[in-house]
Amino acid sequence: MIGKAEFGRTGHKSTRVIFGAASLGRVTQKVADQTLEVLLRYGVNHIDTASGYGDSELRIASWLKREPGHFFLATKGDRRDEKGAREEIQRSLDRLGVARVDLWQIHALADPIEWDQALSPGGALDAALWARAEGLIRWIGVTGHGAQIAATHRRSLDRFDFDSVLLPYNYVTMQNAYYRENFEAVVKTCQERNVAVQTIKSIAHRPWMEHDHTRTTWYQPFESQDDIDLAVWWAMGRRGIFVNSVGDVDLLPLVLDAAKRFHEPPEEGAMQALVERSQTEPLFV
């Protein structure tokens, strides 16, 4: 089984690898149910989906009926205004077939104008606070992508005491001095406040070349077990963070198998060799 850790201040012990349910956006219910069997086999107990992940919420609904109480359930919304976000929260609950989710997150909050709208009066944050007061959600998080997002999350935590953050974390991304400095700072704040830190894109290899998409991930992933092992172990080697799994159901078992066998992070030389051998490129400039 994959190890567990306290998910911030929520009181829930989540598996160190969280199921990233973007991988269910365009699959049949049969494939989704086969994916559930994989998650149960490895003991994964935390799902992270979003209203914008295609049919993902619909695919998960039957899982929640079959395995009541097994999963910590998180979803996300993209609307920045309070009215739209309220509607989005209710739509997610309806699609998931539940009365409440454990965590609702303001999704991909990176653009400065959208950031200010979402976190100002009448924005998405007010919808989240309303939903929490109504018992529709328990915890509130924020997510994002890009080279600027660690710095943006620092501002978000200054504006509101979020319960979780989500952002990229992999070996190559952390070679960017600007990103590394802000990542370290936001993680320090999260540790001080007991805020859960979720990370994404652990097995990112490089951006896709044009017309070369062979996976459902938006980046080109590592595909061999040996390469995935190194990438996942490096990310899991940082204590206190969670690794969200890959957005491709066929690669999911490789990620979970790596996580199950994790015991210590790889040495720096092994990661440098991986970068050179695979010609890894950063996703963000």
What percent of the chain lies above the pLDDT cut of 70? 99
Mean pLDDT value across residues 102-116: 98
Tell me the domains of the chain and their CATH numbers: 4-278 (3.20.20.100)
pLDDT tens, position by position, 235-273: 999 999 999 999 999 999 999 999 999 999 999 999 999
Length of the chain as a residue count = 285
User: What's the pLDDT at 210?
Assistant: 65
Supply angle C-alpha 254, 255, 261, rounded to 5.
90
Please report the pLDDT score of residue 133 as a whole number: 98
Q: How far apart are CA 1 and CA 134, in angstroms?
A: 36
Question: What pLDDT sits at residue 101?
Answer: 98
pLDDT tens digit sequence for 174-225: 999 999 999 999 999 999 999 999 999 999 999 887 667 778 787 899 999 9
CB 35 within 8 A of CB 23: yes
pTM of the model: 0.97
Compute the mean pLDDT over every residue in the chain, rounded to the nearest whole number: 97
Within 8 A by CB and 6+ apart from 158, the residues are none
On whether the CB atoms of residues 266 and 273 are closer than 8 A, the answer is no
Q: What confidence tens digit (pLDDT) does each residue in 161-181 have?
A: 999 999 999 999 999 999 999
